[in-house]
Each structure stands twice: as structure tokens, then as C-alpha cells.
Chains A and B, each alone.
Chain A
Amino acid sequence: MECREFREIISLSIDGEASPEEARLILDHIEECAGCRAFERKTRAIGTGVAKTEGAVPPDFREKLFARMEAEELLPRRRSLFAFSIRWAAVPLAAAAALALFLVSSPEKDKDAVSTRERLPAVARTGPAVETVQPSSRPLSGSPGSRLGSDPRRETPSVARAGAELTPEERDIIAHLDILEDPSALDAPGDVDEMDIFEPPHRRQG
């Protein structure tokens, strides 16, 4: 084998591409051959020198590249901290808005409506007492020094007044509410359809 062939294997060996047998062959040869020994040393030096040959990385290299990429819409723009904060602030804001809507709209209103309706039977019970007041005595009940102050039922004069002005239809509704309030007043299930109680008696009979 000539030195040039050995040097080809030396080149492989430096790059880690020689087989173990080739590496041993090279070691044996360079011990005897000064020329190939020098070639091996210089070749390693050149490889190290090329690896050390580096270009400089300019400080604005990244910014320049990313600006070009953003201009070509190749890089998603990073969201600003402000936008990020607004995005997350939207969660509690939305929750607060939903709560406000909840309080303002149906649930609370329905609750008020139910509680008002629940008070109606009591008003209805007080109604007849108010109704016992004769029309001729109404001016007395509204006048100073009347017995309103001593009657606890008069603590809600507006309601009492409303009871005093009940029309026959309203009394009919209140009567039905009394039935709802007292389950014993209902017909037993099976006697009539439960929804029939809301129908006028004459229709139920039919």
C-alpha cells in the first residue's frame, strides 16, 4: 500500500469514519513513516482551524430577520403585554357583567314576584277586614288620630288600600291563591285533572 492510500485512511480516521482495523493499520504506519505522520498532524491542525473560522453574529441579526418575516407574515406577531392583560381582564369583567345581568333580570325579579304573590293571600286575609270598613268611614281611616296606629295590619297602608279597592275578579284570583296555599283545599289527584282547578267551575262540570 502506498503512502497516498494510507493518507486517505488517515483522512477517514480523523473524521471518525475509519473502521477499527483501518485505524490500527494507520497507527502502525505512521510510527514508521515520518511523511504520513506529518500529514496526520497538519491535517488535524487544518480541521481545527476551519472549525475555529467563524463569522460574526451581528447584534441586530435576529431583529432584522424577524422584521422581514413579520413583513411577509411568516411569523405570528407576539401579543403585547397590554393586549394579554386585557384578554385576561375580560374574564372577570364578563363574569361581573353576567352577575349584574342575573341580578337585574329574571331571577331576582321572579323571586320578587313570587314573594309578592306569596304575600297576597295574607293581604287577602286582611282584605275582608279592610272591606268591613264602610265607604263612609274611609275618610276616618285616613285621617290623623284614627286607629291605624294601634292596628298592626295597618303597618302597610298601601297594601291595605289596595285590598280595599279589590274588584270581584281580583277577589276571585285571591280565592284561588288561597286554595294553592292550602293543599287540603285541593281535590285529591284523580278526582279531577290538577290543571282543572284553574278553570272556572262551570267548565269543569262540563
Chain B
Amino acid sequence: MRTDEELIELYRKGSRDAFEELFARYHRKVIHFAYRMTGDQARAEEAAQETFLRIARAAFTWEPKARFTTWMYTVARRTTLNFLRDDKDDRDKVPILPGEEADDGSPAIQLPGPASLNPEEMAWSAEIQERFVAALQKLPEGYRSAFVLNRGDGLSYEEVAAVLGITVQAVKSRIFRAREMLLESLSELLP
């Protein structure tokens, strides 16, 4: 199987199949990353599309100093941040947090009680996922990026540091702080 870097090189030489292979490998990861970062499905789709477009545009000048995935997540994060900045001015897109009233006056979704919170055992539901997404959105972007890249996408601390352009020690600190904040946000779900 060809490496990501070989596929990029083939794409630069005009291979459509090479880009399709890269797309097949990573489009789900990019969409999931963007969703965890934005908490909005439509924004996640737009950000993921834009990420691949930027990768395609930059592929011809990209110098493979790091792994392709490091570069891909760097592009994905920056693209997602741009979408988040756009969202700040769009008050309609602020996510409705659990327990708050929806705009139409109907009560928010009732989530399962604390006894059911054990993702290893409980049936994963859309409601619980929304709760997690909402908790992630409360994190500062730096913490969220580090935690999502590590826990969501499986990047090592070193890879996360490369994507975020920070030290490994800073990654450790951010992830720990993110965990503390998430425990607090999700405390009512935790037994």
C-alpha cells in the first residue's frame, strides 16, 4: 500500500486516483474532527470540504517535512478556526446547551441520568453525543484542539504538538486542563 506522502507526490504528477485514495482514507476523520471542533454538522461539512480544497491547492508547493496527517490536521484546524470566527458573529448558530430552553420555547432534550453514563457500556445515543459536543464547545480552542486531536483522532502528544505548533509539555498541560473542565461539564452524567 502506498504511503500518504507517495500519494501526494502522485497527485502532484496528475494522478486523480492518488487524491481519491487520500480522500477515502481521511475524509471521515476530517469531518469528525471538524464536527468535534465546531459542534455543528453543516459547519463541519463545509470546513471538511474547504480542508480538502486547501490541501489540493497547496499540494503542489508542499514540502514533506512532516507526515501528511500532521499537515492535514494543521490545515483542518486552521480552516475550522476560520469557520468558528465566522460563527462568532452569527448569533443564530450558537449551540443550545442541554438544560437551556430552545428558541421556540420547547424544553431541551432530556438526557439520561448519571447512572447510564459509561460510554463503554451504555448505548450511544444522539442525545449523549450532543452533550459531549456541547461540553467540548465550552473548552478554550487551544484545549479543545489538543484534546480532540489526541482522544478523537489518536494523535500522540508529539504529533499534537506539531499540529498546534507548541511544545509537548504544553500539550500535556492543555489535555489535562481539558479533562478537568470536561469532568466538570459532564459531572451530572458521571456516576
Contacts and interface: CB of A to CB of B under 8 A. Distances in A.
B112 to A, nearest CB: 12
Contact of B172 (A17, A76, A77): A17
Interface string A33-59: 000000100111111111111111110
A107 B19 CA distance: 51
B53 interface: yes
A119 B151 CA distance: 94
Main secondary structure of the interface of A (DSSP, over half): helix
Interface residues of A, number: 37
B117 A43 contact: no
A72 B152 CA distance: 32
A11 B128 contact: no
B152 A49 contact: no
Contact of B176 (A8, A57, A65, A74): A8
Contacts, number: 114
Main secondary structure of the interface of B (DSSP, over half): helix
B150 interface: yes
A74 B56 contact: yes
Interface core residue of A39, A45, A53, A62 (most chain B CB under 10 Å): A53
Interface in B101-117: 117
Contacts of B117: 45
B71 interface: no
B53 A55 contact: no
B43 to A, nearest CB: 9
Interface in A10-27: 11-12, 15-17
10 contacts: A11-B172, A11-B179, A42-B190, A43-B183, A50-B152, A53-B36, A57-B31, A65-B53, A72-B57, A74-B57
Given A49-B119, A69-B52, A74-B57, 10 more contacts: A12-B172, A15-B157, A46-B183, A52-B124, A54-B35, A57-B28, A57-B31, A68-B49, A72-B53, A76-B14
Closest 6 CB pairs of A and B: A55-B35, A48-B119, A74-B56, A49-B119, A55-B44, A76-B16
